Structure formats: structure tokens, C-alpha cells
């Protein structure tokens, strides 16, 4: 009886080991697929440029000054457009899932929110710009943030969304 129970227990342990092994291989291939997907999610509309930490810090400082005096935002639309374009080029070059991509996308989104505020003043745009700048500052300072392939996909999709918003803003500018 003990021999049968022992053999049964051994076969259960072997089956569990096989399941765990196959599961880990599946997770590994899923992880690889997510990384490959994140790498392919690029807008392709801008030239990729290396991330510039000091320029990113200056862009954040400029936008924080504008947030401190919202009446100055409308006059800074061209400068905000330049900041958004520079951040877009950083995002295009940045590796997926890293802090550089997150900083670039956050700066781009903040600039776009401030440009939207210039066209349609709303506390909503100011709050979103503040939130995006805080996120960029934390990532730039090296504070831990969501990183990895899933965060990379989220940032890439956010970058694509910002690209679409910029196209709409350009269309609105042309109509006004």
C-alpha cells in the first residue's frame, strides 16, 4: 500500500514539475511577445533623437512657470509646440519600458495639455499638465515607476494618443 501511495505521490510531483516548467516557458514566450510588441509601437512621424536629460529638465521648468501664471500660456503656444516635438523625438528613440520613454511621453502630454488650455481654458487641462509634469519629474529624478514591457506598451500607446491629439490641435489651429 505504501509503495502505491509513494508512486502516486511521486507521479503527482512529477506532473506538477512538468506543469510548472511548461508554465514558465509560456510566461517567458509571453514576456518576449510583449517586449516585441512594445518595440513596434512607434508613431513613425518624427525623427528619433537621443534623450537629453538637461533639456528635459528645462522643458519641465518652463512648463511649471507657465502653470504658475496661466495667463501666459496662450503666448507660449509655439514654444510648447517645440517642446512637444522635441519630446516626441525622444520618445521615438527611447527604449520601451524605461524611464526615458516615460519622461518623454509625460513632457509631450503636459505640453499638449497646456496648448489645449490656450485654445480652451479649463482647470482640467491645467490639472492634467501638473500631473504629467510631476510624473516626468519623478521619473527624471530616478524614482521607481512602473517599468518593463507592460509599462512600455502603455507609454507607447500614450505617445500614439498624443500624436493624434497634436494632429487635432493642428487642425483646430488651422480652422481658427
With cell 519623478, the residue in question is 138
Look at residue 29 in the predicted model and tell me its pLDDT. 54
Q: What was the pLDDT predicted at 41?
A: 47
CA 110 to chain centre: 12
pLDDT in the model for residue 94: 85
Q: What is the pLDDT along the chain (176 residues), one digit of tens a residue?
A: 555 655 555 555 555 555 555 555 554 555 455 555 545 544 556 788 999 999 999 999 999 999 999 999 999 999 999 999 999 999 988 887 788 989 999 999 999 999 999 989 999 999 999 999 999 999 999 876 666 667 777 787 878 888 888 888 778 777 76
What's the whole-model pTM score? Answer: 0.73
Eight-state DSSP code of residue 73: T
Residues 6+ apart with CB under 8 A from 59: 83, 86, 87, 107, 111
Q: What is the DSSP letter of 8?
A: H
Residue 64 in grid coordinates: 511649471
Amino acid at each position: 500500500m505504501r509503495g502505491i501511495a509513494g508512486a502516486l505521490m511521486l507521479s503527482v510531483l512529477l506532473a506538477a514539475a512538468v506543469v510548472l516548467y511548461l508554465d514558465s516557458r509560456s510566461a517567458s514566450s509571453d514576456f518576449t511577445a510583449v517586449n516585441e510588441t512594445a518595440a513596434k509601437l512607434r508613431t513613425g512621424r518624427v525623427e528619433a533623437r537621443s534623450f537629453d536629460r538637461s533639456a528635459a529638465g528645462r522643458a519641465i521648468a518652463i512648463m511649471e512657470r507657465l502653470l504658475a501664471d496661466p495667463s501666459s500660456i496662450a503666448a507660449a503656444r509655439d514654444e510648447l509646440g517645440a517642446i512637444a516635438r522635441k519630446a516626441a523625438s525622444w520618445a521615438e528613440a527611447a527604449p520601451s519600458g524605461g524611464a526615458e520613454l516615460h519622461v518623454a511621453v509625460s513632457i509631450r502630454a503636459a505640453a499638449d495639455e497646456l496648448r489645449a488650455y490656450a485654445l480652451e481654458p479649463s482647470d482640467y487641462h491645467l490639472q492634467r499638465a501638473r500631473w504629467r509634469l510631476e510624473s516626468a519629474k519623478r521619473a527624471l529624478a530616478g524614482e521607481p515607476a512602473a517599468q518593463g514591457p507592460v509599462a512600455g506598451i502603455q507609454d507607447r500607446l500614450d505617445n500614439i494618443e498624443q500624436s493624434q491629439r497634436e494632429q487635432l490641435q493642428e487642425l483646430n489651429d488651422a480652422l481658427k
